[in-house]
Structure 1
Amino acid sequence: MRLLAPRSWLGFIVRLVLLIGFVAAENILFARFFESLEQREMHSTSYYISHASLVGGPLIAIFLGVSVYQVRLQQKLWRLSRKDGLTGLNNRRTFFELAQKARTSHPTGVLLMLDADRFKSINDTYGHQVGDICLKSISYTLQRSLRKEDIVGRLGGEEFAFYLGGVSVETARVIGERLTKPISFKSDRDASLSVTLSIGAAQWQHNISIDAAFARADVALYQAKKNGRARLEVWDPQMLVDQQNAVADKASSASM
């Protein structure tokens, strides 16, 4: 269907002419094998071409139009299933799939989890429409930072993920710290606003599952939020211990 569906008006005309020619050739072959000599002498080649154009042409045009519609509908459904509707980035499922696939060529890399700082305040103060503009500005900034082999996606809400294949933690830190700079966007009232990102980074080694890498990056992201936001923190085993102790202390205080 995709081969038959034209992608431009020129493609539509070319396919229409070719298919009409095919129908005309079929008419001529039919006449040669199934009509008598007298019947064939009554009709010239131009007759069969005209007949194919007038009778088959509209039907072929309808067929081509339907094929274009079906292909575009399939593409739209594919995008809806693979992409985030608001930002156009990979959705969560697609990001996981592509990140796993990227490991075949880059067994090690760095996974970044990014969260928009004080995003709820933006929504509450300026409305969800401005919040959407903010998310689009973040996605644009992330896409501009992409290398060919990198993968970026929106995990949900104001949370994003970035996989840097084949890079060291030091290189990932340089890239990530650029992303912690304020990202400007405008509200519907043309007011200039900005948002920052907190980032948690974790090295994704060949012996670590994607879930484990995400869990480490999430702990590092928590630490970045705790340490003042608009910063990048790289996962360290001590972070998990500190987080568990903080949760235990909070639970102990609540029970008193």
Structure 2
Amino acid sequence: MSVLRQSTLIMFLALVGADLLTTIFYGIFFSDRYLLDIVLTSIIVLLVGYPLAHFFLGQNTRLRAMAVELDRVARLDDLTGLCNRRTFFRECEAAKAADERGAFLYVDVDHFKKLNDRFGHAAGDTVLREMGEIIACCVRGSDVAARLGGEEFGIYLADADLVTALAIAERIRRRLAHTGLGVCLDGVPVTISVGVAVRESGQSLQELMARADENLYAAKEQGRDRIVSDHPRKRAA
């Protein structure tokens, strides 16, 4: 409900209440002045109460909007719209506690520093925003995706096996390769390397991420633009 409608409703209720009290009071003591005073009471309530109601309701609406924005800033990465690092770990721990299965994808934009140095930070930001949109489109509703820092992204796949994890990783890699925006910067392709690890029973999130990080390093060593998992360590087709 808008501030104007809320203010009008409050004023209507205030008028009804004020006029009812006036009717009772003057019906007992001053019945000969009832009509004049009921009009004066209504005018006073409207002139004084309506601006005050509108002001305070407007302030309340702005405070609620600020609270929503502060919550969004506290939870999300401004550039990509994905979770920030703090939110990611909190949500991953909750998802991991509720599910024995899961997988983690460590995603890194290849040669990102060179892209920044050659084309500028604005171009680098465009690539990161594009990555955020692609990841958001490719993951499932139960997954948790975040920008962990710089050009690194992390995705926790709840209730996922290796086949599912590799399929999602490849979907992200292929979608970036076929995206019109930022596919190349003066002929320079934008690619990603991905390390995949599937959670073992009793394994902590940090241990799972460490295995995925090892596979990410292996993907870079093997030439980048590829996905490496625990078994087998080869590029997904």
For the aligned pair, the TM-score class normalised by the smaller chain equals 0.7 to 0.9
Q: Do the aligned residues in 2 keep the contact of 1:95 with 1:151 (CA within 8 Å)?
A: yes
Instruction: Tell me what 1:21 maps to.
Output: 12
Residue 76 of structure 2 corresponds to 83
Measure the CA separation in 1 of the matches of 2:100 and 2:108. 25
Aligned partner of 1:225 among 205, 212, 220: 220
Distance 1:162 1:47, change over 3 A: same
* Distance in 1 separating the partners of 2:30 and 2:109: 82
* 1:107 to partner: Cα distance: 2.5
CA contact (8 A) 1:21 1:49 kept: no
Amino acid at match of 1:23: A
- In structure 2, the partner of 1:215 is 210
1:154 aligns with 2:152: no
How far residue 47 of structure 1 moved from its aligned partner, in angstroms, is 4.7
Q: Map of 1:10-159 to 2, 5 A cutoff?
A: 11-31=2-22, 37-38=29-30, 41-43=34-36, 45=38, 47-159=40-152
Contact 2:219 2:227 in 1 (8 A): yes
C-alpha contact (below 8 Å) 1:110/1:163 kept by paired residues: yes
CA, structure 1 residues 53+234, in 2 after alignment: closer, same or farther (shift >3 Å)? same
The answer to whether the 8 A contact 1:92-1:154 is kept is: yes
The verdict on how the C-alpha distance between 1:76 and 1:183 changes in structure 2, with shifts beyond 3 A counting, is farther
Q: CA RMSD in A?
A: 2.5
Q: Using the alignment, how far apart are the partners of 2:38 and 2:25 within structure 1?
A: 16
**Partner Cα separation in structure 1 for residue 138 and residue 198 of structure 2:** 19
Quote how far apart the aligned CAs of 1:32 are.
Answer: 5.3
Distance 1:193 1:208 in 2: 39
What is the identity, as a one-letter code, of the residue corresponding to 1:231?
R
Identical aligned pairs, as a percentage? Answer: 32
- Distance in 1, Cα, partners of 2:69 & 2:160: 34
- SS of the equivalent of 1:114 reads strand
CA, structure 1 residues 44+210, in 2 after alignment: closer, same or farther (shift >3 Å)?
A: same
Match of 1:168 among 149, 161, 173: 161
Tell me the CA shift for residue 184 of structure 1: 4.0
C-alpha distance in structure 1 between counterparts of 2:74 and 2:114, whole Å: 30
Secondary structure of the residue aligned to 1:67 is: helix
Could you tell me how far apart the structure 1 residues matched to 2:139 and 2:164 are? Answer: 13
2:103–2:156 Cα contact (<8 Å) kept: yes
1:151 Cα deviation after fit: 1.3
Q: For residue 127 of structure 2, what is the amino acid of its counterpart? A: C
Shift of 1:130: 0.5
Gaps of 5+ in 1: 1-5, 239-256
Q: Relative to structure 1, is the Cα distance of residues 159 and 29 closer, same or farther in structure 2, using a 3 angstrom cutoff? A: same
Give the deviation of 1:186 after TM superposition.
4.6
The 3-state SS of whatever aligns with 1:177 is: helix
